[in-house]
Amino acid sequence: MNPFARRLAAAGLLLAAWLAGSGPAEGAAPPAGARGGMILIPAGSFLMGRNGGPQEEAPAHEVHLPAFHIDRNLVTWREYARFIQAKGPAGPKGEMYLDVEDPDNRIHLKDGVWAAEPAFADHPAGELAWHGAVAYCAWAGKKLPSEAEWEKAARGTDGRLYPWGNQKPTKELAFLGFRGETGPVGRHPRGASPYGVLDMAGQVWEWTRSLASPYPYNPRDGREDLSADAPRVIRGGMAGSDEEGLTSTSREVVFPPRQATGHAYIGFRCVRVDEAVN
């Protein structure tokens, strides 16, 4: 059993033990057809994963995706506050959308209005559970990216290691610092992906909808099941990640108990698949 498979098996044991024990103003969702701030990723094949790195990233293999749009920037605290104003900090079944009690939360209720702290309004939103990211994207007429969609948007079709190429990360290319540290989104254009998507390395890890299944990637094998209570993959690294964690192929596993709560170092962006461009 390879290391990634062992981690998944361990995740099942941990889960069993745990079970035993830019949006619109004023809380309105954006129009379903709106693509403001999104970038088109053309249909076609790309190289997913890599050989010679961590076991869970192998084997490198070709994946074909239909065209889709992806948010140029990470969802910010300002944008997420509009969603919380519309839907509240918890879902209809009590699932967490925002960890309002955490000291790193930057959205607060005052005089009946949920609003972001001004100093952090344009930083990537954090302290939001996986369910909150899924619900936000649905509210916005979009969805969370699969890890395949995320990786193609990050590295394009030439097999590069990082969004900007194969050069090692620097503070000119990505927001780097300590765990949980963030900065305003979109401030590192030199680190853009081949398609112009920003902050796909550093800042915060990014939620995806994909289950943590071994490669090769197959979207029809159940790994895109939103109802599954199982480990999922986050992508992109955070400000405090090392060079390996910042690669466009890096896969970090988040178990269900951690998916159910917020973390200052995990954010997200959304995608939309448009039939008109396929």
Least Cα distance to 137 among 97, 183, 107 occurs for 97
pLDDT for 241 equals: 97
Cα–Cα distance measured from residue 215 to residue 235, given in angstroms and rounded to the nearest whole number: 15
pLDDT for 173 equals: 98
pLDDT greater than 80 at residue 170: yes
Determine the Cα angle at 72 with ends 235 and 169, to 5°: 50
Are the C-beta atoms of residues 185 and 192 closer than 8 Å to each other? no
Looking at residues 161-176, what average pLDDT do you find? 98
pLDDT greater than 90 at residue 12: no
- For the chain, give the percent of residues with pLDDT over 70: 86
The per-residue pLDDT for range 115-135, each reduced to its tens digit, is: 999 999 999 999 999 999 999
pLDDT greater than 70 at residue 144: yes
Mean pLDDT of the chain: 90
pTM equals: 0.88
pLDDT band for 36, please (50, 70, 90 cuts).
low
Looking at residues 255-278, what average pLDDT do you find? 90
In whole angstroms, how far apart are CA 191 and each of 78, 125, 171, 174? 23, 20, 9, 6
Structural domains for the chain: 3-277 (3.90.1580.10)
Cα–Cα distance measured from residue 209 to residue 91, given in angstroms and rounded to the nearest whole number: 18
pLDDT for 274 equals: 77
pLDDT greater than 90 at residue 238: yes
Looking at residues 213-224, what average pLDDT do you find? 96
Would you give the distance in Å from CA 207 to the centre of its chain? Answer: 3
Cα–Cα distance measured from residue 188 to residue 134, given in angstroms and rounded to the nearest whole number: 26
The per-residue pLDDT for range 55-84, each reduced to its tens digit, is: 999 999 999 999 999 999 999 999 999 999
Looking at residues 12-16, what average pLDDT do you find? 38
Side-chain-side CA neighbours of 101 within 13 Å: the count stands at 3
pLDDT greater than 60 at residue 26: no
pLDDT for 4 equals: 53
pLDDT band for 30, please (50, 70, 90 cuts).
very low
Cα–Cα distance measured from residue 264 to residue 267, given in angstroms and rounded to the nearest whole number: 8
* Residue entry with tokens 């990211």: 133
Q: Of the ranges 8-12, 110-114, 181-185, 265-269, which one carries the lowest mean pLDDT score?
A: 8-12
* Residue entry with tokens 């709560």: 261
pLDDT for 20 equals: 33
pLDDT greater than 70 at residue 95: yes
pLDDT for 35 equals: 56
